[in-house]
Amino acid sequence: MQRHTSGIERMIKKERRFHTKNSEKRVLAEKSLERRLRSQDLCSKLKAIMIKKVRLGLRNLDRSCNLLK
């Protein structure tokens, strides 16, 4: 049974557009790419969470303003 690759692994494989001769450079470039992709993934998740929190906060604020009237 084959293991399915994760989304980040697929993105890493897709991003490789270079040929490096030195194995150290290859490892450093791969680590840098992994960090960048993970950072982008976390950023999008954080953005979604913050949008959800703001929307909930605005709804609660609107409800409390209606109660004061």
Q: Where are the domains of the chain?
A: 21-68
Kindly give the confidence (pLDDT) of every residue in the chain, 69 residues in length, as a single tens digit, with 9 standing for 90 and above.
566 667 777 777 666 666 556 788 888 888 999 999 999 999 999 999 888 888 888 777 667 666 655
Rounded CA-CA distance 17/46 in Å is: 29
Q: Check: CB of residue 34 under 8 Å from CB of residue 12.
A: yes
What's phi and psi for 5, nearest 5 deg? -80, 150
Q: Which pLDDT score, from 0 to 100, does residue 10 have?
A: 73
> What's residue 20's pLDDT?
52
pTM value is 0.50
Q: For 36, which DSSP code? A: H
